[in-house]
Structure formats: C-alpha cells, structure tokens
Structure 1
Amino acid sequence: MFYCSPSYSFHVTRTSKPSHLTYNKLSSQEAAILLHNGTEKPFSGEYNKHYKKGSYACRQCNTLLFSSSAKFDSNTGWPSFDDAYPEALEVKADFSREEIVCATCKGHLGHVFKGEGFTPKNVRHCVNSLAIKFIPQQVQKKAIFASGCFWGTDYWLRTVPGVLDTKSGYIGGSESNSTYEDVCTGTTGHYEAVEVTYDETLVDYETLARMYFNTHNPEQANGQGNDIGSQYLPAIFCLDEEQKRISEKLLSELRALGYKPATELIKAPRFWSAENYHQDYYIKNGKKPYCHFYKTKFNKAKP
C-alpha cells in the first residue's frame, strides 16, 4: 500500500471510462486515488467522522455510490459503508484483497472486506474520502422522462453535469412489478422511462428537460424510431407543479418554432426500476443509441 501526496507520481492510468460523459476536474491528490489506485493516510480524510444525512457520490463523475444510512464507524481510519446503491460499484481482484471502483467511470474508490463482524451485513466498503463527495439530502431532486427505449434516454440524460444517477424503469401502468417481457407486450399500460436524480445546486430541471427534447423526436406519436408501441411513447411525468410549468413552457417554445410535439404531460405515479441488465446499458456495453441523437431544437425554427 502507498499513500498519496501532492508530489505522488505513478504511471498506471485507467482508460475504460465512457468517453461521452463529462468528468469533474481532479486535484493531484484526487487523481492519485481515482486514477492511480492510491490510498490516503488513515484518519486524514474529511469523511472519516462525517455523519450528516445524504449520499456520497463519486468525486470524478458524480454517480451516487453510498447512502449515509449505510455509513458506520469502523475506527480503521477510512470512511466505512456496509452497503452501496444497486449497480453503483464494480469489484475487482487486487492481490489478496478486492478493489472497488465506480461502475460508471471506473475510478478507484478503495477496497471491500467481508467477515469482520462490524455490522449485521458483515461487509465493509473501505473508501478514500478523496474519491467521494457528500451530497446533502435536501439538494437531491428527481425527474422522470420517457422518450422511447430507455437505454437511449438514459444515455443522454446521464451526460448532463450535475446528474447524480439515472434509473431505467417502468411507469404509468396499472400492474405493479411488471417485467420487461410484460411491458413489451404493450398491454400493461407502462411507459419505458428514466428516473433522474440530480443536484439542484449544479443543474436545474429546465436544463434536463431541454436535453430530453433535444435527444429524441417529440413529434413521433407511435413510438421512437423503429421502436413502435405504447410503451415507447414520449411523455414527461411531472412530480410537482413547477416541473409541469417548465415542461409546458418548453412545449410552447417548440410549437412556436414549427414543431408539433406529441409529448404527454402526466402527473407521476409510482416508478418501478427495470431489471439490473437494463441499468446504464450503453455505459456497460460501450455502445451508442440507435434511435436517440442530439439535435438542438430551441435556437431555430423547424427546417
């Protein structure tokens, strides 16, 4: 084990992080941890004795990793968590230990240890403070958008700086816990949608909604691209009146520019997360959307 310092130099750099995402600028010490597998000195990190309510995100890409409810005092000198958000981490062999990295950007976070008996879950994610940042609970907001296959919707919304997490899932149907196979029949009433968690101090709802409109065809009323069916219709599921007001404003702007959006505005019912293999699909597979493309629509009339 080595400890990072401002003069630290080590020439192994990760290259597998998705190129379409925006990353935060790292200090030399943060880079030593996240990019070069460094370790901060024990008891030196700002989050070692930190217990405010909220979440801890990757310092490089803002992905939510751990809830404050999973944090405990292991007295080992590093922040410790006995659980992580679903699909947030990857575990890799690291000699006799297991390394944990951010599943989104592949940044090194620390290591995971089992069988120590600190908590009933018997797991300790030992994390460097320099690899994470705290997001207070009160600034975490949500938005829900549907624009065809949720893989493509997720791909573009995840690129917006300030987005902390995206979750593909189903919404609007009468059946609870529907599977992908159920929804594909077009009989459950569900839309394929993406739930976005964002930091409102870094990005606002209107910015997210503009990205949503700029990355699909809101005029297509029977689906999106070659994906045809009720589950692929464009819709914004509003969580409050402010989201509805902003969405209505943007729809009015599009109509004034000559567009005829088929987008529905619907009061958001319960959102159901899709199966794990649908989450961050293009990030995991290194591919690009086949029917979602970025095209600015708000600065000029429709061609």
Structure 2
Amino acid sequence: MKYNKLTPEEEDVILRKGTERPYSGEYLDNKKEGTYVCKRCDTPLYKSSDKFDSHCGWPSFDDEIAGAVKRVPDKDGRRTEIICANCGAHLGHVFLGEGFTDKNTRHCVNSISMKFIPEKSKTIRKAYFASGCFWGTEYYFMKANGVKHTAVGFMGGHVDNPSYKEVSGKKTGHLETTEVEYDTTKTSYEDLVKLFFETHDFTQTDGQGPDIGPQYLSCIFYSDENEKAIAQKYIDILQSKGYKVATKLVAASTFWKAEDYHQQYYLHKGTTPYCHVYRKIFD
C-alpha cells in the first residue's frame, strides 16, 4: 500500500513512536469543526465533536471514529498505545478513568500524527496579511472577534513549500504571512483590514520594527477585487490623515504553511509581541 511521504520529524513520531513536545502541536487549540485524519494514510480518526481541552499539552478526544483506532498495550504494561488501525501509524496513548468527560476516556494524540479536514461553510472565509514577524501579526488576529482560526506561513514568492530558514535567507521573494479564517456573520473583511493597520507600523519601508528585510514588509494579499477595493479605501483614509503608507496590495497566491513550532507562537510561549502594538486609528 502506498502511503503519504513524511518529513523526518513526522517519521520520528509516526514510525518510531516518538512524542512531540507538549503545548507545541498545531491542533492543540484547534476549535474548528471537521475531521482529523491519519497523516500517513488519510484514514479518518476523530471528529471535532469528540475533542476536549484536558490541559495536558496534546490534543485530547474522548472517542474515536468506529474501527479507526487500535489499542496496543506497551511492553512494560504501564500504558496503552493507540495506532491507526489501517496503517499502524503511532498516534499517542489512551487513558481511562480520569473523569474529564462522561465517557471517561482520553485519547492523547500527537498533532503531528494527524491532518485536519475542516467542514465546508459558506460563512467562513480566509484573508491574508503580512505585517512583519508573523508571530506578532497572528497574535492580534487570533484574539479578534469572529476569527475562527489562524496560521502563519509564506506568500508572494517564487519558491514552492519554502522553509523558514530559506525565507530568512531573503532570496525566495516570500513575505511572512498570516492566514486568517473568519466568520462573516460575526466580523467583516473591513474589520480585519482596520485591525491590520492598527497593529503595526505601516509606514516602515524596510521591515517591521527591528526586523529588517524583504520578508518583513507590510502587505495585504487580496483574494478578489472587493477585498482590494476595501484595502485601498483604508489606505486612502490613512493618506488623508497624513500617513505615508508603505503597505503593498498584491493578489493572493499559494499560502505555504510554516513549520509547526511557529504556529500560535506567543500563545504557547505565554508572552506578547516585541514589534507589534495595538493603537486605535479608525473611528
């Protein structure tokens, strides 16, 4: 059977039964509706409705999709491993009797062992913003009303699936970019654009704060002409206020997600951005 290609980090967990660092996984705080599938073979494993917060440092589920997960006692008899029933990929361990939920079961799963497939929704849209170090950009968007999920990565360059190291080399053409998924019934693209301008220095032409380089430039990647018009509207407003706006407007292209340890960086670290500060500009 042919399986998906894995990175060395994924192989360490999925094939060699390693464990990712606690509070570092991509899906620890994911609250979107959808299905978690095996990273190795794409078999559906868990439903988002069975996910809960156990404060243990890894994604937790109190039930699995029927027949998808196999339990294997560890050789020392102390714990019970859980693996994908289809391909044998290591997922984590299962614990009973802890009382977290009525089902009294906790599947403690490594994020790196899974992929998340969100449910399609007509009210959920994605927007893309670059305003310097993506850790700081994401920090404010992930706290905003109506935002369902955020991710950091790269956009605008000519290198496919670049690494953070490659982008830092300043030769890929990519900007550090934040992907924002938002509910149009609770917020608007216009609100996101205002927050974008109010949380960074959009007049700086060589980077953001102490972060200097082409990957740190201010840019809004618009997905259609309506988004472009809204972004231009606020650039015009800022210019009428006397600001020299350096923000570029560029058509959105492929968003290449950054490595897991960059995702929700300040949330996991428990600190605040060093180069992004909120200041109200618009009424």
Task: Give the structure-2-normalised TM-score.
Answer: 0.66
CA–CA separation in structure 1 for the residues paired with 2:54 and 2:161: 28
Structure 2 gaps, min length 5: 1-22, 38-43, 72-82, 95-99, 103-117
How far did residue 202 of structure 1 move?
1.0
CA–CA separation in structure 1 for the residues paired with 2:135 and 2:258: 11
Q: Are positions 1:67 and 2:34 aligned together?
A: yes
Q: Which amino acid aligns with 2:70?
A: G
Q: Are positions 1:269 and 2:259 aligned together?
A: no
How far did residue 68 of structure 1 move?
4.8
Q: Are positions 1:82 and 2:49 aligned together?
A: no
Q: Which amino acid aligns with 1:67?
A: G
Pairs within 5 Å for 1:97-136: 100-101=59-60, 110=62, 114-115=69-70, 120=86
CA–CA separation in structure 1 for the residues paired with 2:36 and 2:59: 19
Q: Which amino acid aligns with 1:115?
A: K
Structure 1 gaps, min length 5: 1-16, 18-56, 71-80, 102-108
Quick one: structure 1 residues 119 and 208, their matched pair in 2 at CA, closer, same or farther if it must change by over 3 Å? farther
Quick one: structure 1 residues 270 and 84, their matched pair in 2 at CA, closer, same or farther if it must change by over 3 Å? farther
Identical-pair percentage: 36
Find runs of 4+ consecutive structure 1 residues off by over 4 angstroms.
88-93, 98-101, 116-119, 121-129
Aligned to 1:157: 141
Quick one: structure 1 residues 274 and 83, their matched pair in 2 at CA, closer, same or farther if it must change by over 3 Å? farther
CA–CA separation in structure 2 for the residues paired with 1:221 and 1:99: 40
1:222 touches 1:228 (CA, 8 Å); kept in 2? yes
Q: Which amino acid aligns with 1:178?
A: P
CA–CA separation in structure 1 for the residues paired with 2:252 and 2:31: 23
Q: Which amino acid aligns with 2:34?
A: S
Q: Which amino acid aligns with 1:188?
A: T
Q: Are positions 1:237 and 2:204 aligned together?
A: no
Q: How many residues of Structure 1 are paired with residues of Structure 2 in the alignment?
A: 215
1:253 touches 1:298 (CA, 8 Å); kept in 2? no
CA–CA separation in structure 2 for the residues paired with 1:183 and 1:118: 35
Aligned to 2:263: 279
1:165 touches 1:196 (CA, 8 Å); kept in 2? yes
Give the CA RMSD over aligned residues.
3.7
Aligned to 2:186: 202
Q: Which amino acid aligns with 1:158?
A: M
Pairs within 5 Å for 1:201-220: 201-220=185-204
CA–CA separation in structure 2 for the residues paired with 1:238 and 1:181: 26
CA–CA separation in structure 2 for the residues paired with 1:83 and 1:231: 37
Task: Give the structure-1-normalised TM-score.
Answer: 0.62
CA–CA separation in structure 2 for the residues paired with 1:188 and 1:294: 30
> C-alpha offsets along residues 187-244 of structure 1, whole Å, 9 cap, x if unaligned?
1100001011111111110111111100000000100000000000000000111110
